[in-house]
Amino acid sequence: MTHEIKIDTRKQIFGIILSILFIIGGTTLLINPLIFGQHPFKDEFMFAISLTIVGLFVALLIFLVYKIVKKTIGLIINEEGIKEQISAFGVGMVRWEEMTGFGIKKQIGIPFIVIYLKDQYEFIERFSGLKKATIKKNSESFGTPVAISMVMLKMKKDDLKQLLTEAGAKHDLQFED
């Protein structure tokens, strides 16, 4: 049986609006760094910060619009495993036979589904570049390279926990609290 958990469109629209506001604010600072009055920073520093803000939020805006237009399913749980499609640097399919269990951990108040692996180093070696660096950081922060943010999913935490517990039980995997 396949379970498809959608991405919450309302949260995506909120993210798009927020991105547009930051792009406008960053662009305003690029054009006129003194718009809010004098500041203690050098002009080069303000330019770099403004450009970084605009660049990051343009990228986020493109990503969120893409996810809405493509109507991407956030998480797929099926007989093969768990496929993550929420983040820009998602890990894709994690097969049941690669897992030792899963749970939910919070970081900065944000809940993440963590999937523990039999061989996380082998799993990390599948990737390269920025994606590899991102999942290595997950491994350091969460104890596993697979950490899926629950913020954008259109399913309540308890319902998702129950679904994962039931799916994992079919493969002799336990959900850890």
Q: Report the alpha-carbon distance of residue 149 to residue 51 in Å, rounded.
A: 27
pTM as predicted = 0.76
Q: Select from 3, 21, 23, 19 the least CA-distant residue to 11.
A: 19
Instruction: Please give the average pLDDT of every successive group of 10 residues along the chain, which has 177 residues.
Output: 85 92 90 69 79 92 87 87 83 89 88 89 88 87 88 86 86 79
Residue 146 lies in a domain: yes
Q: Report the alpha-carbon distance of residue 103 to residue 107 in Å, rounded.
A: 13
Q: Report the alpha-carbon distance of residue 25 to residue 29 in Å, rounded.
A: 6
Residue 1 lies in a domain: no
Per the structure, the count of domains in the chain is 2
Domain holding 33, by residue range, is: 8-70
What pLDDT does residue 39 have? 66
What pLDDT does residue 34 have? 67
Could you identify the residue written with the tokens 């910060």? 49
Residue 136 lies in a domain: yes
Question: Are 45 and 88 contained in the same domain?
Answer: no
Question: Are 49 and 128 contained in the same domain?
Answer: no
**Which structure tokens are listed for 113?**
């589904």
